[in-house]
Structure 1
């Protein structure tokens, strides 16, 4: 026992001494060392050490699970989240990107972190027009004034990696020009290594801290997001792949004015997808928007296995075109391509969840590596309590009480949640982030998933499973059998959808209401 305690103190002390030295160096040299990453490393190291010390010191001698422990834990969560947010704002670039990611994990992180880090979507630092003009000139070999007759100084939007400005060409075309912040790419390698190092050190001090996946995902995905030529390719591929959705608008890419750090696109107007007041003002049906967004992402995930993974409100606009609601999908920098094995297993899991097939939920969850924690995984995936999962998520309405219970349980099951996130396939991580962002939009619009949402998911899962079985079928007879079975399943879903519509229609209620009879 004594040896274990000394070992823990040694680990804790060595981390504190190391990052403490880095922090002191930062305070003395920030102004001249920031270009080589020492300042940002020192600031991040100091923040990590400060958070570790706060948890260790504040929770000492408190019994885990007691009311006093939980109250203090919430307080430390909040203090730590503020420190993390301030550090991300000062370091910028990749740090803000990771902070924004954490701010979307509503049902996966303690609410204090989510609430505090969510503001990073609105607080990204701005670059001056002169700095952006330099990036434009370096990449395209021309001054902005040579290409555009006007270039708005006020950005349309500012993000962690870039900002977007409205511009007009000499031919009168109105475009949106996305230009990377000057030093983001240069700093990205050091920043990724810094996060990777510190997360591993925290995991060394706190063995229950299993968020190493965050560093691994950042290391893999950030370089992709920093290549705007790749983003342009994603943009065009998505436009072609989902062209059958008449409600979807993907901006056209102007390749002549694009490079690795500059992406020029068609300018699209609209309000943010979570702006209910904007939709009311422009006579846009929030339920239609929520339904169409659900259709789009069900198609992406279950059928195509090609998923836009950053649908936060700033990247999804809505407007009215010819009396039809249009959804504009922006920022195509981060896509997840799903393997067939993963996608089909995920389809089967969702079909089991919708049908309240608990044996199926257990089987397909375990296929994804969560083992005995499959009930927790089901709750994380659906954002519903286990009681709702076993009763049927399609049949039970989401209540404020259930939402609050879920958020409270994040702190209670923090270690188990981190264990699940560390064990599932890496493809699942971005899918879960995407699910949480979409749920946040639904919450803002007050259109949480209902029977209609699950019908759309069921249709996509049925089509995906049918297509997969067709590829595996051997011979004409087997192919026809699969085709017939898929069509029959889709027909059953459509009949169920029709019955739901009839049951909720005004005509049905009028025909079946009890007549008022008077004998007077």
Structure 2
């Protein structure tokens, strides 16, 4: 590492520490905290910032030193890069575990992104179940200060032991005076102050890392996370999201959104209907209850496909803890959607273009994919869209959902070797924020359906079906003419049927080509085997004649 780089790293440490302290000082005039609390928050924030600075600086130095002088894209480079990824992921995991709160949420966010290296996602995914509950006394104070009444005047009972604890809040079971069983989500005290500090430090760190290493640009990641965390801290917004989603799925008997109790809901306290259930990836529970996991997966994919392609209003954190499977006498099961804090309102133009992209990827309409890549701002990388979403290369001849042939994988591997970190950073930075949200949700959904043992083909075909539905004009059966509604529904159904027939034809052609290739290969092997046997036969015959001739000559010569 050059002296200039060392100076840059030193500057990073000093300036970031100064940023954390300056931010604390700028918040010291707040009337909401007493002097002692301000002092504690300042010291605590400085410690958290210092840990973040030292950890990130160590990671930066590790990357710089370990990869210095190694030929890029070589086998040695890839091995060393993987080793540094693993060491860095473990350091970040420790940082998240010690700093807690915002850092745990940031680690979960990074682990959920499909573009995150496997070493990071596998290590940081353990943060999903590592939240430590806050003492009930502190939680009780938050409830009283927000709802303005004593616990006994609002609830018949309130369990002191939380039923769930996450990175920003924990949930307690309670019974209202009306005998309604509810779940109360309570934000951790002082969290908003810490988040303001931590987001400032993270933003500064991401900009400085980009300055140190121009190929590693992560400002987009910090910016996206800052937007989501600030929205998630507003429980009133979460309540509105829940009610809007309930309205969107009011005609779907397989989906349940817990009811919001507005009189017991504020920015820091959310009271909702209590719903029994098990995590959506609890296969053992499903087997014991006689529920088919594939049906659960199908219903889950349909719900999120409808969110993306039809409503354009997307739940941004669908990990297994936020989706429950509840027993239902009518349908067998019901999906209960929890935690509506992170939602993405997709731009209408983006939604329509995304529907078109899926139709193009299913039929491998390369011209349309390239055209849409221009619109999404990534013309150079649009050929990778089919690979990202459907597992097929841009010019694949394989059947949908069946992966790629050996030759296709080999060619793609050679092509991907030429990509640099700069290309990945450029790709992610150029994508619209809506695309990033869809990518993240799709990645989380894939991991769940994979665990439930559902083939990729089901997810792809479901997406295609709802992409066609989302491309049609939005009509309201209650207000629009019945004939018009029926016409567009029929048109959508016929379009989907046409698409399925196209896929059947393409798959039949692919199977026929594979059969012909296999037959030709078998014939070639048979031909070469017979040719070899023929040569061998003639060779042996020649040797026998030669031996006979020698014997004959010997006999007559004597």
The normalised TM-score by structure 2 is: 0.78
Deviation at 1:86, TM superposition (A): 1.5
Give 5+ residue unaligned stretches, structure 1: 25-30, 471-477, 500-520
Mapped to 2, the partners of 1:410 and 1:134 lie a distance apart of 56
Q: Which residue of 2 aligns with 1:293?
A: 300
Deviation at 1:68, TM superposition (A): 2.6
CA contact (8 A) 1:109 1:410 kept: no
Given the alignment of the two structures, is residue 362 of structure 1 paired with residue 362 of structure 2, yes or no? Answer: no
Deviations 1:146-185 (A, max 9, x none): 3223222322211111111111223332111100011211
Deviation at 1:469, TM superposition (A): 12
CA contact (8 A) 2:276 2:326 kept: yes
Q: Which residue of 2 aligns with 1:11?
A: 8
When residues 442 and 486 of structure 1 are mapped into structure 2, their CA distance, relative to the original with a 3 A threshold, is closer
Report the count of equivalent residues.
479
Partner of 2:464: helix, strand, or coil?
helix
Q: Which residue of 1 aligns with 2:388?
A: 380
Deviation at 1:491, TM superposition (A): 4.7
Given the alignment of the two structures, is residue 70 of structure 1 paired with residue 78 of structure 2, yes or no? Answer: yes
Partner of 1:175: helix, strand, or coil?
strand
Given the alignment of the two structures, is residue 126 of structure 1 paired with residue 160 of structure 2, yes or no? Answer: no
Mapped to 2, the partners of 1:421 and 1:497 lie a distance apart of 31
Once structures 1 and 2 are overlaid, which stretch shifts more, 141-150 or 68-77? 141-150
Mapped to 1, the partners of 2:489 and 2:251 lie a distance apart of 22
Q: Which residue of 1 aligns with 2:119?
A: 112
Mapped to 1, the partners of 2:287 and 2:488 lie a distance apart of 45
Q: Which residue of 1 aligns with 2:151?
A: 144
Q: Which residue of 2 aligns with 1:82?
A: 90
Mapped to 2, the partners of 1:22 and 1:190 lie a distance apart of 9
Give 5+ residue unaligned stretches, structure 2: 22-38, 477-483, 506-558
Q: Which residue of 2 aligns with 1:279?
A: 286
When residues 73 and 359 of structure 1 are mapped into structure 2, their CA distance, relative to the original with a 3 A threshold, is same
When residues 245 and 152 of structure 1 are mapped into structure 2, their CA distance, relative to the original with a 3 A threshold, is same
When residues 469 and 14 of structure 1 are mapped into structure 2, their CA distance, relative to the original with a 3 A threshold, is same
Mapped to 2, the partners of 1:489 and 1:425 lie a distance apart of 28
The normalised TM-score by structure 1 is: 0.84
Q: Which residue of 2 aligns with 1:455?
A: 461
Mapped to 2, the partners of 1:150 and 1:68 lie a distance apart of 62
Once structures 1 and 2 are overlaid, which stretch shifts more, 192-201 or 92-101? 92-101
1:211 alignment partner, one of 205, 218, 222: 218
Mapped to 1, the partners of 2:486 and 2:43 lie a distance apart of 64
CA contact (8 A) 2:134 2:188 kept: yes
CA contact (8 A) 2:20 2:197 kept: no
Mapped to 2, the partners of 1:495 and 1:320 lie a distance apart of 36
When residues 7 and 482 of structure 1 are mapped into structure 2, their CA distance, relative to the original with a 3 A threshold, is farther
When residues 61 and 20 of structure 1 are mapped into structure 2, their CA distance, relative to the original with a 3 A threshold, is farther
Mapped to 2, the partners of 1:484 and 1:251 lie a distance apart of 33
When residues 481 and 56 of structure 1 are mapped into structure 2, their CA distance, relative to the original with a 3 A threshold, is same
Deviations 1:218-241 (A, max 9, x none): 222222111101111111111011
Q: For the aligned residues, what is the CA RMSD?
A: 3.5
Deviation at 1:397, TM superposition (A): 4.7
Q: Which residue of 2 aligns with 1:325?
A: 333
